[in-house]
Amino acid sequence: MENTISIKGVMVMPEKTQAFSNYRWVILLLVSIINFMFNACQFQVAALAYELIPQYGLTPSQYSSILNAPMLAAVFFCLFAGSLGDRFGIKRVISVGLLIGTTALFLRVLADNYLELFLCMLMMGLLMPFVGANFAKLVGLWFPKEQIGVAFGIFFFIGMAGNTVSLNVTTYFPSIASAFLTSAFLMLALCLIWIILAKEKPAGVSLPPPMPLIRYTKVAIRSKNVWLGGFLAMLYMGATLSFTGFLPAALNSVHGISPSAAGFWTSVFTLGNMIGGFIGPLLVDRIGTMKPVIIALAITGAAFTFLSWITPVGALMGIFLLLGGTLTGAILPNINTLPLRFKEIGPVYAGSAGGIINMMQVSGAFFIPTFVISAIAGQNYDLLFILASLAFFLIAPVTIFLPTIRLREKSQNSKFETVSK
């Protein structure tokens, strides 16, 4: 079998032999819109905090647990979702996730107490592991190596737009129920569109015969680099959810501004996340190496994030929010490309490796804000945002331990067509 290589016992063909279908952009747009809708549905809780907290009598920890409940579900399912994608295919597993998430959103409309709302958000969270854990694999199947950064940038840009749109639009609904019901119907429509239009793989691409689930999982678990990437993602999400989740309530409580104004200022930070999510992978591709870029982004992003809180409400605060959001937002997309960058993983095992990284990412999103930062700070918002900024900063020293990844060197397993086992 000429021009093939073996990766962990699987024979593959290098990318130069594969013609890439333009339909890859349709697939990317669909999965990016799913990411958009998931984030929008989650951040409706942040936008409605001023109503939800008094209506349900929530403590800060209870509110944080509701906001981050989707992440808790994903903690326990990400690893399996990635392996299921490796075993049964991406379209099938994402379709299942969409059906579960849509059902949860309709049930959320009926929730009238803390426990019911928490359980609905928990159930909704089962959607994202199927998408997040398998996105690297999807990119590996559909996109050439030189477009990996572009694909991740688009995915994160559109996904972060869900945060921004939700924070700005949700407060204009006449009631909590009307906001929740609208998002449920939109997710139902998206579910149907995905089932109709999505394809499992590009035409002409041969996948290896399915292997036992444990085979995919074992390869990913044994890679220390995968766990290191997961720890970076955990710090990032813990810091981001702590900052954006509490900022609207903090601005309303400390500075006395209206809920809609608080949502606007928070959306400036998430707008920065959108910009950073798009340009981050492009910046790394341009420079050709990852570690120094992530270190610089973490240090400067942490500084501007904290400055935005201690600056009086106004234009300067907005500039700091935008800079902090852009610099920190450029970090996560690069972390999520790591399964395709690690030589021992590649696209064959990218689902399982992405599952580990996403498992740690969402565990950070749930446990760090709820059981670390808000538990320590309570209603002391100064301390809360110091701790959130510190979490961003800690990404820098941890990144030092990543292997050196030079993106301009040719890598046989960075993108390929699988032909046989």
What are the pLDDT digits (tens) for 187-226?
A: 999 999 999 998 877 776 666 666 666 777 777 788 888 8
- We report the CATH number of the domain holding residue 101 as 1.20.1250.20
pLDDT-derived band of residue 321, with 50, 70 and 90 as boundaries? very high
pLDDT(2) > 70: no
pLDDT of residue 190: 93
What does the pLDDT average to over 243-249?
Answer: 87
Residue ranges of alpha helices (H) inside 255-314 are 259-287, 291-310
**Is the model more confident about 15 or about 55?**
55
What Rg do the C-alpha atoms of the chain give, in angstroms? 21
Domain span including residue 268: 5-420
Half-sphere exposure (Cβ direction) of 182: Cα atoms closer than 13 Å:
13
Looking at per-residue pLDDT, the higher value among 368 and 20 belongs to 368
Contact at 8 Å (CB) between 356 and 226? Answer: yes
Number of domains present in the structure of the chain: 1
| pLDDT tens for each residue of 32-59 | 999 999 989 988 888 888 788 888 888 8
Residue 16 confidence (pLDDT): 44
- How far does the chain reach from its first CA to its final CA, in angstroms? 11
Residue 328: per-residue pLDDT? 95
The arithmetic mean of pLDDT across residues 372-400, rounded, is 92
Q: Which two tokens stand for residue 140?
A: 């590996």
Residue 365's CB is within 10 A of a number of other CB atoms, namely 29
Per-residue pLDDT for 411 more than 70?
A: no
Letter for the amino acid at 408?
R
* Portion of the chain with pLDDT greater than 70, in percent: 88
Mean per-residue pLDDT, 282-294 = 87
- The first and second tokens of residue 392, run together, are 């961003």
Provide the percentage of residues in the chain whose pLDDT is more than 90. Answer: 31
Which has the closest alpha carbon to 332: 237, 414, 402, 407? 237
The CA distance from 267 to 203, in Å, is 40
One-letter amino acid at 384 equals L
